[in-house]
Amino acid sequence: VQMVESGGGVVQPGRSLRLSCVGSGFIFSSYGIHWVRQAPGKGLEWVAGIGADGSKKYYGDSVKGRFSVSRDNSLDTLFLEIDSLRVDDTAVYYCARENYLDGLYCDYWGQGTPVIVSS
Amino acid sequence: DIQMTQSPSSLSASVGDRVTITCRASQRISRYLNWYQQKPGKAPKLLIYAASTLQSGVPSRFSGSVSVADFTLTITSLQREDFATYYCQQSYNAPFTFGPGTTVDVK
């Protein structure tokens, strides 16, 4: 199982960005996927999640209305669209596969893609 | 939203020590609690899910338990590779919030 994020970089405040996450080594369309971010020197913040078929989507309070999660199961790819980027969106963004047995958990994580919001 | 707290925020320990980290939720979450380990510059790694189930491949010196509203991660005999930051996460409902983390460093 592998999760590989891409799309990060240096972006000006107010601009938009789309992150991607490709999953391999498993049946991508059978699993929910989550985005978790970590600002420099800070803890983990759960950002968003999407169900296996894309019909259920969940967002953290701090990103509702600006972040949009979607997936293309034909490409084994997850997307995170970020609008109106703010300086405090600067973080490493991880995607993680969701699994479920007696509860939901994230069992495989990507290496992360860094997003730096700066003018 | 469910708020998660962890204690202590950091601790210093030696190889061979028994280490205990506690996590508490702001409301009842049954056993929907996960523990992750993170080392600097690396992605988090799942250790325990559903409060006490050890993820495949994780050493048996790690264990999780729950007593009333307190969740505990225990490392029975700390190894050199265990110096890291540990996070709890509730999976009772979205947003699936993490605790602030507990850093275990060398005494």
A contact residues 11-40, partner B, Cβ 8 Å cutoff: 34, 36
- Whether residue A44 and residue B98 make contact (CB cut-off 8 A), yes or no, is yes
Top residue of B90, B96, B97, B98 to mutate, by most chain A CBs within 10 Å, is: B96
Structure confidence at residue B72 as a pLDDT band (50, 70, 90): very high
pLDDT the model gives residue B68:
82
- Whether residue B89 and residue A44 make contact (CB cut-off 8 A), yes or no, is yes
Percent share of chain B, pLDDT over 70: 100
Task: From chain A, pick out residues whose CB is under 8 angstroms from the CB of B32.
Answer: 103-104
Would you state the structure tokens that stand for residue A36, as one six-digit string? 């978790």
For B73-107, what is each residue's pLDDT tens digit?
999 999 999 999 999 999 999 999 999 999 999 99
For B4-49, what is each residue's pLDDT tens digit?
999 999 999 999 999 999 999 999 999 999 999 999 999 999 999 9
Return the residue matching tokens 């030696």. B14
Give the number of C-alpha atoms closer than 13 A to the C-alpha of residue A6, restricted to the C-beta side: 4
B57 at interface of A, judged by CB pairs closer than 8 A: no
Top residue of A94, A95, A105 to mutate, by most chain B CBs within 10 Å, is: A105
- Whether residue B91 and residue A112 make contact (CB cut-off 8 A), yes or no, is no
* Residues with pLDDT less than 50, chain A: none
Task: From chain A, pick out residues whose CB is under 8 angstroms from the CB of B39.
Answer: none
DSSP labels for A53-99? Answer: TS--EEE-TTTTTTEEEEEETTTTEEEEEE-S--GGG-EEEEEEEEE
Structure confidence at residue B69 as a pLDDT band (50, 70, 90): confident
pLDDT the model gives residue B83:
98
Q: Which of B33, B48, B22 is nearest to B93 (CA)?
A: B33
Contacts A–B by Cβ distance under 8 A: 73
Would you state the structure tokens that stand for residue B81, as one six-digit string? 């590779």
How does the average pLDDT of chain B come out, rounded?
97
Q: Which residues, other chains included, contact A38 with Cβ-Cβ below 8 Å and sequence gap of 6+?
A: A44, A45, A91, A92, A94, A112
